[in-house]
Amino acid sequence: MLLSRFWYVILAVLLGIAVYVPYLAMSMYNRAGARAMGEGLSADSQVVSWYLRDDARTRSAHLIKFALDQDISRNLAEASKSETQLKSNLRDKVTDALKRVNATIPKEQAFDAVFAIDQHGRVVGHLGYEQASGMEDFELGGYPVVADALHGYIRDDTLVLDRMYRVVARPVEHVAGNLPAGAVVGARIIDDRFARELSDRTGAAIAFYVNGQRVSSGAPEGFDRAQLDQIVGDLKYLNEDKDYQEKGRSQVRLVGKMLGVQYAKLPGEAWTLGAGYVVARLPTSVDSPLGFLVQADDKDKAQANMLLAIVAFVVAALVGLMFSFLEHTRPLMVFRREAQRLAKGEADQMQPSKFRGAYRKIASDLNDGIDAVAAKGGVPRRAADLKQVLGDIPDEPQMSAFSFPGETAAQAEPVSGPVPTSKNLPRPPRKGPPAPPGALGSAPRPPVAGDGVGGDAEAASEEAEWRQVFEDFVRTKQECGEATDGFTYEKFRQTLTKNRDTLITRHGAQSVKFSVYVKEGKAALKASPLKS
C-alpha cells in the first residue's frame, strides 16, 4: 500500500496548498486593492481640486464681458457716488444690462446667478437669485471674495447662502487709474447637476457636504450614487481626523466596509462652516477564496487555462484509481479467490507466496491457526453447521439432510449458530411425560463395530439421548406452530444415524452430540462432533 499512501500524502499536500494559496492571494489582493484605492482616492481628490480652480478661472474669463459693458460700469459708478438710497432706475438699468450680457455666454458655461455690486458692497442688480428680489438693503460686501474684487483682485470662493455656491468675482473699472466702480460676481449652485458634471469631467464619485449634511452628489456610470449617502454617518468623526483638521484633507477611510472615501475641505469662506467634498471608490477586495470566482468576468475566465486544470484533474484521478486497484482491489480479489478455494475444500491451506503486503501476513496467520487447531486433537471443536460441514446430504433423493416427512420445502431449515453447551443449550420445559416409543414409531439401532456389553450400554445411552432430542424437537416444532403430522422417530433416527456416521468418518470423532434450537422461528438441529 506504499504507493497509495504516498499518493494520499501528495494529494493532501496539494489540497493544503490549494487552500493556503487562495487565502494568501486573497490577502495580497486585498492589500494591493486597498493601496490602489488609497492612491486612486488621493488622485481623485487632487483632480477635483484642480478642476474647481480651473473652472473658476474659466468662468472668471466670462465675467470680463460683464466688467467691460459700459452700461454696467457707468451705472455702478453712479450708484457708488451715494452711500444712502439708490435710485430705482439704476437697479433696472443694471439688471437689464446683466441679462443682455448673460445671453451671450454659452449655456454650458452660464452662471446660475450674477450680482453687480457697487463700491459700498450693495447689490445694485442681480440675476437668478430670487431671494434678493425686493430687498433694498441686500449686500455682499462683507464676504472676502467680494471685498478683494472691490479692491481690484480677481478671486474665487465657495459661499454658503441659502445653498452652497461656487463664485468668482472681478472688479469693474469705469475710469482708468481710479478705484473700481464696483464688482461683478458670478455664481454656480453646487447641486446634483454641478456634481454630475464634475464627476463626468474627472471620473470620480463625488459628494459635497456642509454642516454635517450631504447637499449634492454625482458618480460615474456603474457606481451606485446612493452609496454616497453613507458619508452622513461618518462626517461626525472627521473632528477626530488630525490631517483633516490641520491639512484640510483626511486619510483614506472605509465607511461601512463597503466604501472607501477621502474628505477635503473647500477653501475660503466655506472652510469655517465645515463645507467640503468627498471622493469615493468601491474597495477592490474579496471576502473569501470563492470571491475570485464571483468577481471574475468573462475575460478573466477566458484567460484561465481550463484545459490544464481538467487534464491535471483527470491524471490525478486516474493515477489514484490505478494505485488503488494495484494495491487494494487486485490483492483483495486474489485473497478472496484463495479463501473460496479453502472454504470449498480445494486447498488444505492458503499459499502466502501468492499474496503481497498485509495479505501475505494474514494468509500465514490463517495457516498457523489451522495447524494449531488440528494439533489440539481432543479439544472440543465448535458446533458444526451440518449443511456447511457435510454439504447437501439427502435423506431421500428428494429430501435434504434435515427435511422430515410431513414438512414442506418452506419448513425445512439449514442448521447454523454457536455450539450449544450444558450452560447455554436452550432446552424448553417439558410439558408432560415423554411419548412412549410405540406412539411415534421406533426401529432398532443397526449394529456397529465394537458392539458388545459395553457397546450395548453405549448404544442404549445414545438411543435414549436421541429419543430425548426427538421429543425436544417435536415439542419445539409444536411451540413454533409447525405441523408434526406424519413426523416419526424412525425417520428422525435414520437422519441422525446418517449424519453421525458421516461426521465421525470425516472428523475422526468418537461421537456426535445433537441438540435442538430455534432458528428464524422454526425448530432446527445442531451437530457437535466430540473427540472423546
Q: Where are the domains of the chain?
A: 2-51+194-281, 68-189, 307-376, 386-530
Place of cell 494474514: 362
pLDDT, one tens digit per residue, over 385-432 is 444 434 444 443 333 334 333 333 333 333 333 333 333 334 444 444
Topology at the third CATH level for domain 2-51+194-281: Beta-Lactamase (3.30.450)
Terminus-to-terminus CA distance in the chain, angstroms? 47
Q: What is the CATH architecture of 68-189?
A: 2-Layer Sandwich (3.30)
| 475-490 pLDDT tens trace | 998 888 888 888 888 8
Distance CA 82, CA 90 (A): 12
- Show the cell assigned to 363: 494468509
323 contact partners, CB below 8 Å, separation of at least 6:
3, 4, 7
- pLDDT of amino acid 520: 79
Q: What is the mean pLDDT of each run of 10 residues along the chain (532 residues)?
A: 73 83 79 81 87 86 90 89 77 89 87 91 87 75 90 90 89 86 92 89 88 87 82 83 86 82 85 86 76 72 78 84 79 84 80 78 83 65 44 38 38 37 39 41 41 66 89 90 86 88 84 86 86 70
With b meaning 16 or more CB within 10 Å and e meaning fewer, what string describes 302-326?
eeeeeeeeeeeeeeeeeebeebbee
d(CA 395, CA 376): 33
The CB-side HSE value for 203 (13 A sphere, CA atoms) comes to 6
Burial of 17 (0-12, 13-18, 19+ CB in 10 A): exposed
Do residues 99 and 72 make contact, with C-beta atoms less than 8 angstroms apart? no
Helix (H, G, I), strand (E, B) or coil at 497: helix
pLDDT in tens, 172-218: 998 877 889 899 999 999 899 889 988 888 888 999 998 888 889 99
Grid-cell match 467640503, residue found? 276
Distance of CA 386 to the CA centre of its chain: 59
Type of residue at 216 = S
68-189 matches 2-51+194-281 in CATH topology: yes
